[in-house]
C-alpha cells in the first residue's frame, strides 16, 4: 500500500478543494514561548476499585452562603468578524436544533464508556457541537468541570495528564516508574465516578498527551482498566491519548494500533496525534519546532484511518495538526488553518465512496485563545472535542486572586480586621473559601467555552 513516509513526507498543504492542487506552506519563524512496581500498584488499585460502588453519594452542599467571588476577566477570545457572525449564525442554529434531537439512549449521567461514548461522539458530530476537554489537577478543578457542564447542559471531558496525576497523588511521592502518576490518575477517576451522576451530566474520563517514553504510564492505567472491566463490565477510563507524533509515521501508527488492539478488548477509545502541537504544556515542549510540522497532510490521516480501522471493535479519534499551539499568544503568532480538516474529510470521504461526508472524528488541541471563527469552522469539519487548559488555569487563578483582593484586609492575620482589632478571620482564610472562588471562576470560563463549542443545552 502506498503511503507517505516520514522521510519523504511532502511539506505541502491542501488549501484548495481539489486533491491535485497543493500549495506550499508559507515560511514562518519558529514559535517561541516565554518561560511561562505495577504489580504492587495493581493490589492498591483493586482495593480502591472495590470501593467504587458509591453511586448513591449525596450531592455535596456548600457552606459559603451568599458571598460570591469576583468574576474572572475573560480576554482570550478574539473579536468576531462580520463573516464569522454570518457563518456562526447558521452553526448556532444547528446547535440549538440539536436539543430537539433525541440523545442516544446509551448516554446517561455519569461516566460514559464503550458504545455509549461512540454514540455520544457521533451525536456531537451530527449536531455540530464539540465537547470541552479540560485538563485538571485535583478535585477542585474536576468539580468545576462538572459544575459547569451541569449549568450549560452538555457533556464534559475530564482530562488527566501525567503531571496532573502525579500532583493528585502528591508531589512528595517517588515517581521513578510513574507510580505516583498512575495512582493519582486512578484516584481522580474514582472521585469522578463517585460523584458524576450527582451532577446529572455525561462525563468522559480521558488522559492527555503520552509520548513514547511515557508509555509505562498508560500501561499502568490500562492494567487498571482491565481490572475494573472484569468487575464492572466497563473500563475505569473512557479513553486514552497516545502522542507519538515525534516518531516516524509508520512507527506512530504501528504502536497506536498495538495499543488499540488492547484497548478494544475492554472498550477503551484511543486518541492519537498526527503532526505536532506547538508550544509547551505539562512537560511536553515543542517550542521552536519547524512550522511545517504543525500541518498534517490528508494522505497521513488516510493511512492512519485505514490501519486503525482494521482493529476489531477499535474506536479512535485523530488530533490532526492544523497549526495548533498550546498556550495563549499575542495575535499573529499562531496561524490556524482548519481548512485542512475540511479538505482531509473530503479526501477520505472520496476514498471511501463518498457516502459519509465526515468519516473522521477529529479533536482540536491547543484551543485556548483560538478565535471563535476558527473554532466554529473546525467543528464544521468534524471536530468533536476541543482541549482547554491555559484559559481555565488562568480563570482559576483569577478567581483566587479576586478573592484575595476583595478580602485582603481580612487575610493579614488570624485576628484583627476592619471590623475590629479582636475580630477573628478564620472564615476568610479557610482554604475552602479561596478554592471555591477558583472553582466558580473556572466554571464560568467553561460555560463560555461551551457556548463557543455549540455545546449548550444538547442533552
Query: Residue 395 has which C-alpha cell?
Result: 480563570
* Cα end-to-end span (Å), the chain: 43
Strand-pair partners of 203: 111, 156
> Residue 172 in contact with residue 192, Cβ under 8 Å?
no
Query: Residue 405 has which C-alpha cell?
Result: 483582593
Q: Which residues fall within 8 angstroms of residue 413, CB to CB, at 6 or more apart?
A: 425
Looking up cell 482547554 gives 388
Strand-pair partners of 132: 386
Dihedral (CA of 337, 342, 346, 348) sign: positive
Active-site option among 55, 178, 208, 282: 208
- What is the C-alpha separation between 158 and 392, in angstroms, rounded? 12
- What is the C-alpha separation between 286 and 333, in angstroms, rounded? 15
- What is the C-alpha separation between 270 and 308, in angstroms, rounded? 10
Other beta carbons less than 10 A from residue 122's beta carbon: 13
3-class secondary structure per residue, 202-223: EEEEEECCCCHHHHHHHHHHHH
Kind and range of the H or E run holding 374: helix 372-380
Q: Annotated catalytic, 409?
A: no
> Degrees (nearest 5) of the Cα angle 207, 171, 159?
15
Q: What is the DSSP letter of 295?
A: B
Least Cα distance to 264 among 231, 215, 293, 229 occurs for 229
> Residue 322 in contact with residue 343, Cβ under 8 Å?
no
Burial class (CB in 10 A: 0-12, 13-18, 19+), 176: exposed
Strand-pair partners of 13: 23
Burial class (CB in 10 A: 0-12, 13-18, 19+), 46: middle
Q: In 3-state terms, what secondary structure has residue 186?
A: helix
Catalytic positions, please?
208
Amino acid at each position: 500500500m502506498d503511503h507517505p513516509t516520514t522521510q519523504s513526507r511532502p511539506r505541502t498543504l491542501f488549501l484548495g478543494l481539489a486533491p491535485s492542487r497543493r500549495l506550499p506552506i508559507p515560511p514562518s519563524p519558529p514559535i517561541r514561548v516565554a518561560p511561562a512496581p505495577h504489580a504492587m500498584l495493581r493490589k492498591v488499585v483493586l482495593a480502591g476499585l472495590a470501593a467504587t460502588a458509591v453511586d448513591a453519594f449525596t450531592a455535596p452542599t456548600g457552606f459559603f452562603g451568599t458571598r460570591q467571588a469576583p468574576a474572572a476577566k475573560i480576554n482570550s477570545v478574539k473579536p468576531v468578524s462580520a463573516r464569522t457572525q454570518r457563518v456562526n449564525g447558521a452553526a448556532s442554529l444547528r446547535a440549538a436544533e440539536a436539543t430537539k434531537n433525541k440523545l442516544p439512549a446509551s448516554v446517561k449521567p455519569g461516566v460514559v464508556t464503550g458504545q455509549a461514548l461512540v454514540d455520544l461522539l457521533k451525536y456531537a458530530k451530527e449536531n455540530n457541537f464539540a465537547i470541552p476537554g479540560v485538563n485538571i489537577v485535583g478535585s477542585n478543578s474536576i468539580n468545576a468541570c462538572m459544575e459547569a457542564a451541569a449549568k450549560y447542559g452538555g457533556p464534559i471531558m475530564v482530562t488527566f495528564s501525567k503531571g496532573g496525576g502525579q500532583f493528585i497523588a502528591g508531589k512528595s511521592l517517588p515517581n521513578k516508574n510513574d507510580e505516583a502518576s498512575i495512582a493519582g490518575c486512578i484516584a481522580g477517576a474514582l472521585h469522578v465516578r463517585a460523584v458524576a451522576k450527582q451532577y446529572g451530566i455525561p462525563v468522559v474520563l480521558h488522559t492527555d498527551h503520552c509520548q513514547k517514553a511515557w508509555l509505562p504510564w498508560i500501561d499502568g492505567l490500562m492494567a487498571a482498566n482491565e481490572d475494573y472491566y472484569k468487575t464492572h463490565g466497563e473500563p475505569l477510563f473512557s479513553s486514552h491519548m497516545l502522542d507519538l507524533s515525534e516518531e516516524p509515521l509508520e512507527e506512530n501508527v504501528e504502536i497506536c494500533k498495538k495499543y488499540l488492539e488492547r484497548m478494544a478488548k475492554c472498550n477503551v477509545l484511543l486518541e492519537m496525534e498526527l503532526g505536532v502541537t506547538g508550544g509547551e504544556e505539562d512537560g511536553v515542549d515543542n517550542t521552536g519546532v519547524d512550522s511545517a510540522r504543525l500541518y498534517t497532510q490528508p494522505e497521513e490521516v488516510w493511512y492512519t484511518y485505514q490501519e486503525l480501522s482494521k482493529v476489531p471493535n477499535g474506536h479512535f479519534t485523530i488530533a490532526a495538526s492544523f497549526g495548533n499551539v498550546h498556550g495563549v499568544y499575542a495575535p499573529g503568532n499562531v496561524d490556524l488553518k482548519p481548512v485542512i480538516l475540511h479538505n482531509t474529510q473530503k479526501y477520505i470521504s472520496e476514498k471511501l465512496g463518498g457516502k459519509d461526508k465526515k468519516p473522521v472524528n477529529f479533536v482540536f488541541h491547543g484551543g485556548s485563545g483560538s478565535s471563535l471563527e476558527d473554532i466554529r469552522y473546525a467543528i464544521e469539519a468534524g471536530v468533536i472535542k476541543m482541549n482547554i487548559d491555559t484559559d481555565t488555569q488562568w480563570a482559576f487563578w483569577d478567581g483566587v486572586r479576586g478573592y484575595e483582593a476583595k478580602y485582603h484586609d481580612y487575610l493579614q492575620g488570624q485576628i484583627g480586621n476592619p471590623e475590629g482589632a479582636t475580630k477573628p478571620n478564620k472564615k476568610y482564610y479557610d482554604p475552602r473559601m479561596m478554592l471555591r472562588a477558583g472553582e466558580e471562576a473556572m466554571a464560568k470560563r467553561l460555560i463560555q467555552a461551551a457556548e463557543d463549542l455549540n455545546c449548550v443545552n444538547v442533552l
